[in-house]
Chain A
Amino acid sequence: MKSGPETSPTFLDHLRDPSNEAAWRRFVELYCPIVYRLAKRKGLDRDAAEIVVQEFCVRMVRYLQEFQYDRERGRFRGWIRKVATHEIFRYWRKQSAGKPKSTVSIDGDNDIVPDEGEDNWWEGSEIARLLQLALDDVKGQVSTRDYEVFRKLVLDSQTVDAVSLEFGITPNHIYGIKFRLLRMIREQAHRLREEWYDR
């Protein structure tokens, strides 16, 4: 597995404390969509993907309060991914009497070797998710109009001309809004990343 940045021990301490709702909210908001998309990527439908995410979360709540970080045994982020993959295979086993078979062990004694494509997918999903969370944070710092311009342009993939016409502002103004918000989002994503991971 790729050796990207590791989760901050401080953040892990926060997660061991179930009364720290802010840390838990950050954690589930970051990982639930990634696990959901992984489940769908592995061929599950929406209902099944939701069940997998719920099972994943239940395990996280149970495990994280007792999780002891051990750098020698592997990375916390790698472990999260292993638990998610394990839950998907567990769902398959329950539904279809064992097809396909998993060699996953979340104890780390019988690890699967993820392929390079999946490594990239997971890393890319984490980055994309951090950007989405950063966008949520930035939303409260800009005017409703600017956010809507950005949303239509970037998230709804509308053209500059269409957005310009709808809001009655020039294309240059649209590009200015896009530039400013993208920069804010990138900076906020860096802050979130520093909060989460060791530099």
Chain B
Amino acid sequence: MTDSSTSCPADEIILAHVEGGLSPEQQALTEAHLRACGPCRKRVEEAENLTRVSKLLSQSKLNQRDVERIDRCVQSTLDEVRRTTTKPRD
């Protein structure tokens, strides 16, 4: 574990801090570091942004049955595009 009171915490600590995954002691050390370190506060903003990316990915996940149907549509469209390519032009 990085000593957050003296040196900048690693990326995983910053993300764990944002997601509430640190122990109370780790959290206190990280917060103390962040109060004194502007660049790390910027890193927290980035981690918050990444957490939003994570939520979007999680919320927009389709179930397997839907994925199979969509894959069929993708495949049949690509087949249609190929047929268009090989069709002789008038």
Contact = CB atoms under 8 A, between A and B. Distances in A.
Given A18-B85, A33-B62, A132-B57, A172 B16 contact: yes
Interface string B34-69: 000000000000010111011011111110011001
Contact of A21 (B1, B10, B72, B82): B82
B74 A179 contact: no
A24 B78 contact: yes
| Chain B binding surface SS class | helix
A155 B16 contact: no
Contacts of B14: 179
Contacts, number: 121
Nearest to B54: A154
Interface in B73-87: 73-74, 76-78, 80-82, 84-85
Interface string A16-45: 001101001100110011001100000000
Given A18-B81, A179-B50, A182-B54, A50 B72 contact: yes
Contacts of A124: 56
A83 interface: no
Contacts of A36: 62, 66, 69-70, 73
Given A171-B21, A186-B53, A128 B73 contact: no
Contacts of A49: 69
Contacts of A65: 84
A113 interface: no
A1 interface: no
A127 B61 CA distance: 13
A61 B80 contact: yes
A24 B15 contact: no
B12 A182 contact: no
Interface in A30-81: 32-33, 36-37, 46, 49-50, 53-54, 57-58, 60-61, 65
A18 B59 CA distance: 33
Interface of B: 1, 10-16, 19, 21, 47, 49-51, 53-54, 56-62, 65-66, 69-70, 72-74, 76-78, 80-82, 84-85
